[in-house]
Amino acid sequence: MKQICKGISAALICGALVVGCLVDAHTTTRVAVSSVSINEGDAALFENEEQRFTVSVEPTNAANKAVRWSSSREETATVDEDGLVKALAVGIAKITATAVDGSDKSGAVTVTVNATVTPPIDEDAELSPADIFALLKGQKAVTNGWADMYNDGAGMFYTNPATLALIDDATYPNPLDKRKAFTDAINGKAPAFIIVSGDVDLSDGKVSDTDHSYFDEFNATEPFARKHSDITFKIENDKTIIGVDNARVKFGGLRINGRTNVIIRNLTFWDAHGSTERDTSKSGNESSKASIDALVVEEGADIIPSGVWIDHCTFTDGTCNDMIRNYNHDGSFDIKHGRDITVSWCEFTNHDKVMLVGSDETKYLNADERRITLHHNYFHQTTQRTPRTRGTLMHIYNNYWKDVGVDGNNGYCLGPGRNAEFIVESNFFAVETFKSSTKIVDYYDASAYPAKVFAADNNVPVAPSAHFAATAKPWTPAYAYDLGAVSGLPTAVPADAGADKSVTAKWLQAQPVL
């Protein structure tokens, strides 16, 4: 007995000691499963599509955390022992994971199987939102610009959520509900594939084409600051936004603030507005200056935004014309800070200060921190900043400028500033439509921070900086692109740039999808 119960106090009853020692030596306490949950939640799949599901089992020290998978309707969807669900036929199936330790704890999700969408044979036929979603979700996006180098060269991908977020008038007949659904979708934390149909009024009716008085209300004392703040909404990470049926966001601005993997295609940005009838160049009126950009990419919490593709969008001040004073508008599309961004096939019109890249003369002077491509964009009836740039690796090819400058504000096209490094190739500047003193290039650099501008094969010469005359490309584009014939740009670019009413298979193929 003494050998069996070695180390146990002799004051205890020996019989009890014997029993205690035998139990300790031959049995352990088994921890049972208390809950099972399926991590991915409910899902919608197309026929023949597969998705793997995973589980969380509590507590973490459960003795046996294995589960058994089952489907309530195997003719609709099957699931194997590893949680791989295969969608077979249209319908709804309940997928369940049950603990095998005898606790009978389980978790379940609903899988909805939709019919596979077959793209129309006619490439000019209009695609429905379901067609677009089925064709693009999860696919790689090829932008033929710096955005293709996002994520260490892996490139950009259309988001791949379980379901489509459709923002249209049929689903949201109340304009306020529609605006809220749109801004909730773009600002949600989860990846989202958003298709917008028709108008989204970001001002909730406070502003219209004929009434901008909301921004003409001021405090009674100097400096006459506006009573109402800017109307802006943020776009979160991993968002695909595509417009159909003349989709427009109106009377406010969208912000990509330190975010990544954002694709916006076929959307019109209409009259962001945001300021005043006051002459902001006069003392005392500074606080009433416009500060809403229709779209802005900017740094957020020390995070540099990256992986942004803006394609086939239209930027315009709508019915408001303010080409000389610029009291009522700030930028069309400003990129204060951002890396690996492509802007392609967009139309910029009826606006003064179009695109500012790098917002501070004392910051952002390392050109490699901003890498931006502009190609096949149509700048017309604009005044300046197409673009105005501080330290940036800026590739500008196959764009078309027409009707630049107005009486009273002659403007310019390209404005390379401090440490800007431009490659300007195969563009068309319609100089015959410029105002007499409008410049194709207007430099904002300095001898200490010279702009390097390499130009080749444009229809007219692009003047070099007084501080640096580039004779070779200052850097080499790391992505694939083709240069179209310059002579064809005045026809091809206006015909295809900007937002279109509908989306067709041909339109989608204009930018290849791998």
Structural domains of the chain, count: 3
What is the CA angle 474-402-458, rounded to 5?
Answer: 35
pLDDT in tens, 327-384: 668 889 999 988 999 999 999 999 989 999 988 777 767 888 899 999 999 999 998 9
Same domain, 168 and 84: no
Q: For residue 325, indicate whether it is catalytic.
A: no
pLDDT bucket at 10, cuts 50 / 70 / 90: very low
Same domain, 56 and 157: no
Q: Does residue 220 lie within any of the structural domains? A: no
Query: How many Å apart are CA 504 and CA 314, to the nearest integer?
Result: 18
| CATH label of the domain that carries residue 172 | 2.160.20.10
**What confidence score (pLDDT) does residue 97 get?**
95
Same domain, 344 and 306: yes
pLDDT in tens, 265-293: 999 999 998 766 666 666 666 666 667 89
Structural domain range at position 22: 1-27
Same domain, 11 and 86: no
Task: Round the average pLDDT of the chain to a whole number and report it.
Answer: 86
Tell me the two tokens of residue 384. 């300046």
**What confidence score (pLDDT) does residue 281 get?**
65
Highest mean pLDDT among 106-120, 271-285, 459-473: 459-473
pTM for the model stands at 0.77
**What confidence score (pLDDT) does residue 64 get?**
93
Query: How many Å apart are CA 428 and CA 434, to the nearest integer?
Result: 13
Same domain, 59 and 41: yes
For 272, the 3-state DSSP assignment is coil
Query: How many Å apart are CA 343 and CA 348, to the nearest integer?
Result: 11
pLDDT in tens, 188-236: 999 999 999 999 999 999 999 988 888 877 776 655 677 888 899 999 9
| CATH label of the domain that carries residue 61 | 2.60.40.1080
**What confidence score (pLDDT) does residue 48 get?**
86
Query: How many Å apart are CA 186 and CA 195, to the nearest integer?
Result: 11
**What confidence score (pLDDT) does residue 514 get?**
30
Res. 512: pLDDT tops 50: no
Same domain, 7 and 56: no
User: Annotated catalytic residue: which of 248, 255, 370, 385?
Assistant: 385
Q: Where are the beta strands (DSSP E) in 354-475?
A: 356-357, 371-375, 378-384, 388-389, 393-397, 400-404, 412-416, 421-425, 428-429, 439-441, 452-456
Q: Does residue 206 lie within any of the structural domains? A: no
- Asked whether the beta carbons of 224 and 218 are under 8 A apart, the reply is yes
Query: How many Å apart are CA 91 and CA 114, to the nearest integer?
Result: 7
Res. 20: pLDDT tops 90: no
